[in-house]
Amino acid sequence: MTSLLSTLSLAGIPPEDEALRAPVRDFLHSELRDYPPHLRARSIGAHDAAFTRALGAQGWIGMNLPEDVGGAGRSHFARFVLTEELLSFGAPVVAHWTADRQTAQLIARYGTPAQRARYIPGIRAGEIVFGIGLSEPDTGSDLASVRTRAVPTATGWRINGRKIWTTNGHRASHMCALVRTSGTAEDRHKGLSQLIFDMKTPGISTRPILNIVGEEEFCEVLFEDVDVPADALIGEEGDGWKQVTAELAFERSGCERIYSSVVLADIWLDEMRALENPPQIVVDMAGRIAGRLSVLRAMSLGVCACLDAGQNPELEASLVKDLGTEFEQEVPNWIAEANASIPGFRPSRELALALAYVTQYAPVFSIRGGSRHIMRGMIARGLGLR
């Protein structure tokens, strides 16, 4: 525990990054002024290509990439402020989410100059939308059991296999996939590489998967003799696992693992403020939400400071992700409990729709980016407990 506490310390947002908050709010109120509250509660799963392009036009996608690779050279704190505002407002974020948070960082760190020139401008403009090919059928959360294989050809690589639970893979223009380029599944982390390719490449097909709330958010992606060029390889052959673990620290550490239920909480609080004499359970639940959110936000900012210092806070990010998604899942339960305790209370249509959606969707929170059991195993190893 000493190691964790020594690296995850309190951190504040620098003034130059905090200054980003006001223009982002102005942009959101202008761009999404007619967006109803119950749709804003779906932010974390909402895909809107036009909104993503508008966000890109502001220079707010990939802005914390170094300037020498095509970024704006802003800090991770700047991205934190942007993300916090997007999720607090309930903006549709999915179209740029993966590329901004993970794939652009991967390309900036491991890509060749030609790869950076090819992808980063399109990512920053909101024109290139990435899906991540990690999970596979019949392997659960065991990410290392990759069976999708890429074999070398005279011109590059030929891919065969399947990926599953790819968020918006059927809407993505490109994919970054973890594939086996040598050895077998029993070799675990060895022999894995990452390839980036166009989703229109012949031999790729997608099968959307209907989620519990009736949306086609995920899909299965099939590869049948898919030929990609040699420069589809990102980084060194066989270094895929090292690259993926670095990427997942970006995915697991931000406020996107804390704020998935925050719009619902705001809708509920607005209605509770309208009550003449709210019962004590309402006050208690509001305090519980605020207290937990405050601590988790401070932890997420601590991870942000680690990333800004060039560290790889895998353990710390896993802890924030586990605690954050637990909080996200509890919020709709707390609100439902409070509502049931208010005599004669009838929620508005907006609150009822938002609560129903988040309650059904909440099981996803602790699965995406690594299941709760995987996170806790990583935390235990990082703390020397296993």
- Please state the length of the chain: 386
The residue type of 88 is: S
28 Cβ contact partners less than 8 Å away, ≥ 6 residues apart: 85, 86, 89, 91
E strand intervals along the chain: 130-133, 149-152, 156-167, 174-180, 192-198, 204-210, 216-229, 233-234
**Is 251 among the residues known to form the active site?**
yes
User: In the chain, helix, strand, coil percent, each to 5?
Assistant: 55, 15, 30
CB 196 within 8 A of CB 179: no
Q: For residue 184, with 0-12 CB atoms within 10 Å meaning exposed, 13-18 middle and 19 or more buried, which class applies? A: exposed
Which structure tokens are listed for 254? 């931000």
Q: CA-CA distance, 352 to 107, in Å (whole number)?
A: 42
**Contact assessment for residue 275 and residue 338, using Cβ atoms and an 8 Å cutoff:** no
Handedness of CA 154, 200, 94, 49 (dihedral sign): positive
User: How far is 260 from 359, CA to CA, in rounded Å?
Assistant: 11
Element (H, E) at 372: helix 372-382
Q: Which of 136, 251, 316, 328 is catalytic?
A: 251
Looking from the CA of 297 toward its CB, the CA atoms found within 13 Å total 17
Nearest to 195 by CA among 221, 165, 168: 221
Q: How far is CA 298 from CA 247, 318, 364, in A?
A: 21, 15, 24
Show which residues are catalytic.
Answer: 251
